[in-house]
Every structure is written in structure tokens, then in C-alpha cells.
């Protein structure tokens, strides 16, 4: 409940439609199962056109979230950041003469891990964080706090289809490196002086197979202890600082 209390909600079908029309950023919209009226259809159309993620849930879940207020079967969670598109960010990086360093997060759902990763990414000079529209942590007040404000500084790109995003990055000259314990090579193998996107996967099952097979390379962090894996925010930091090490030595 702590996370929910720190969120700002918009409830009511018409209110959500108007919020999207006015350009407000929404993390996600919860819609009651079984709604079929014209206003509901307008809501779905509006969310689809704006690429706002939505999910169908039982009405009781929405009622619990708004403490009995008249939600009309729809509840939107306001975002704490303004989402951007990688297609708008990447050309600007090249135009500035900089070497892109991007971080793609596949289904990182813990808000504190997300915030910690954002903080490290910003400190390491990463240009943007890329997340999927569905299956990612909501950027809550806790996430922003854990990031020490980095989420208000580093661009967050919410993309509808990470597979297509990977293809776009590769076509743009950016190598895509998957960080996974399934790799044979260590993180010291790739040339991180090249334009790079690093993919980090969920702690439950890592990077999705469909993304792994599209990576230009897969790498792992060397470990000699008895525990099989690091926390994903720690892993992200280790890999990002290997990028920094290589790029500093190149200068």
C-alpha cells in the first residue's frame, strides 16, 4: 500500500480521456473487465493512439485503489516523468558528436532497483534508459527518490516493441550487448568505445529469449562466490563502469 499512497491517480473514464488529450503523462491505466459502452470504446481508442499502456482488471481492484470513489471502471496512474522516444534522442546524441551509451531494461519491475539503476546510469553518463510499455516498473515517488533525482535528468524512453527498438538501434549503428549469465564471454570482451546499448533483464528469468537472439554479443560478469547472481542494479553498475573504464583509457 505504501507505493500506492505515493501515486497520483485520475479516476473516471472521461477524466482520463481529457488527461490524455491535454498531454498529461500516464504510467498505466487500469480498466474494469467487461465494460462495453461507447465511452469505454473512446477510452480504448484514445489510449491506443497515444500509446498509453492499459490493463483489464476486476472492478474490485480499482475500487480498493481509490477507496470507494466513483471511478466509473477506469483508473489512471500519473507518471513522475515525461517519457521520450529513442528515435528522437539518438539522432541528437550523434549530432553532438558523442558516442551513444544506452541502457535497455527488460521487465525490471522493482521500483527501487529501477531507481538505483537510473542513478548509476546518470552518474556514468548514459544518454537514456529504454523500457517496455508493458511489464516495467512504474516510475513512482519511491523510484524517483531512490534515483536521487536522476529520473528527472536522464531521459526515459518508453517503447511499445523492444524487438523493433533493437532493430532500429542496430540499423543506426549501435551495437546491442546483452548482459546474461548464459553468456560465454566476460564483460571485458566487447569494444564499448563503439555506440552501445546494454540490455539488463529481470531478476526472475533474465533477458527474454527473443531479445537475446538479436543481441550483437552476450556477456557476463565474472563471479567466484557461491551465490549465482548479483542484484540487477549492482550488475548494471558493474557493466556501466566497464564502459567508463574503456572509454577513459581510449582518450
pLDDT value at residue 196: 98
pLDDT value at residue 100: 98
**pLDDT surpassing 70 at residue 7:** no
**pLDDT surpassing 60 at residue 1:** no
- Classify burial at 251, counting beta carbons within 10 Å of its beta carbon; exposed 0-12, middle 13-18, buried 19 or more: exposed
pLDDT value at residue 249: 84
pLDDT value at residue 204: 84
How far is it, in rounded angstroms, from Cα 212 to Cα 35? 38
Span 165-219, pLDDT tens digits:
999 999 999 999 999 998 999 999 999 999 999 999 988 889 999 999 999 999 9
> Average pLDDT for residues 26-55, to the nearest whole number?
89
pTM: 0.87
Could you tell me if 2 and 59 are in contact, meaning their C-beta atoms sit under 8 angstroms apart?
A: no
pLDDT value at residue 90: 98
pLDDT value at residue 141: 81
**pLDDT surpassing 80 at residue 69:** no
How far is it, in rounded angstroms, from Cα 32 to Cα 55? 9
Polymer length of the chain: 251
pLDDT band with cut points at 50, 70 and 90 for residue 60 = confident
pLDDT value at residue 95: 97
pLDDT band with cut points at 50, 70 and 90 for residue 92 = very high
Find the helix packing angle between 162-171 and 86-95, rounded to 10°. Answer: 20
Percent of the chain whose pLDDT exceeds 70 = 96
List the one residue out of 204, 3, 198, 8 whose CA is nearest residue 112: 3
Span 111-145, pLDDT tens digits:
999 999 999 999 999 999 999 988 888 887 888 88
User: Is 24 or 108 the better-scoring residue by pLDDT?
Assistant: 108
Mean residue pLDDT of the chain comes to 90
Query: In the chain, what are the domains?
Result: 2-78 (3.30.1330.30), 86-250 (3.40.1280.10)
**pLDDT surpassing 60 at residue 85:** yes
pLDDT value at residue 5: 41
Amino acid at each position: 500500500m505504501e507505493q500506492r499512497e505515493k501515486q497520483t491517480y485520475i479516476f473516471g473514464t472521461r477524466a482520463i480521456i481529457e488527461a490524455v488529450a491535454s498531454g498529461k503523462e500516464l504510467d498505466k491505466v487500469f480498466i474494469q473487465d467487461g465494460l462495453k459502452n461507447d465511452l469505454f470504446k473512446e477510452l480504448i481508442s484514445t489510449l491506443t493512439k497515444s500509446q498509453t499502456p492499459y490493463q483489464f482488471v476486476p472492478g474490485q481492484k480499482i475500487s480498493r485503489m481509490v477507496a470507494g470513489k466513483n471511478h466509473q471502471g477506469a483508473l489512471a496512474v500519473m507518471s513522475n516523468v515525461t517519457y521520450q522516444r529513442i528515435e528522437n534522442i539518438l539522432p541528437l546524441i550523434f549530432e553532438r558528436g558523442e558516442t551513444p551509451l544506452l541502457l535497455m531494461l527488460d521487465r525490471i519491475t522493482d521500483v527501487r532497483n529501477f531507481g538505483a539503476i537510473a542513478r548509476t546510469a546518470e552518474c556514468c553518463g548514459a544518454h537514456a534508459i529504454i523500457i517496455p510499455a508493458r511489464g516495467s516498473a512504474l516510475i513512482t515517488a519511491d523510484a524517483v527518490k531512490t534515483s536521487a533525482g536522476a529520473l528527472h535528468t536522464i531521459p526515459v524512453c518508453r517503447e511499445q516493441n523492444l524487438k523493433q527498438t533493437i532493430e532500429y538501434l542496430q540499423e543506426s549503428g549501435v551495437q546491442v550487448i546483452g548482459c546474461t549469465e548464459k553468456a560465454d564471454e566476460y564483460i571485458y570482451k566487447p569494444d564499448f568505445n563503439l555506440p552501445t546499448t546494454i540490455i539488463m533483464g529481470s531478476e526472475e528469468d533474465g533477458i527474454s529469449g527473443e531479445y537475446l537472439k538479436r543481441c550483437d554479443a552476450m556477456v557476463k560478469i565474472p563471479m567466484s562466490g557461491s551465490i549465482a547472481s548479483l542484484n540487477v542494479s549492482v550488475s548494471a553498475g558493474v557493466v556501466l563502469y566497464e564502459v567508463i573504464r574503456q572509454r577513459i583509457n581510449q582518450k
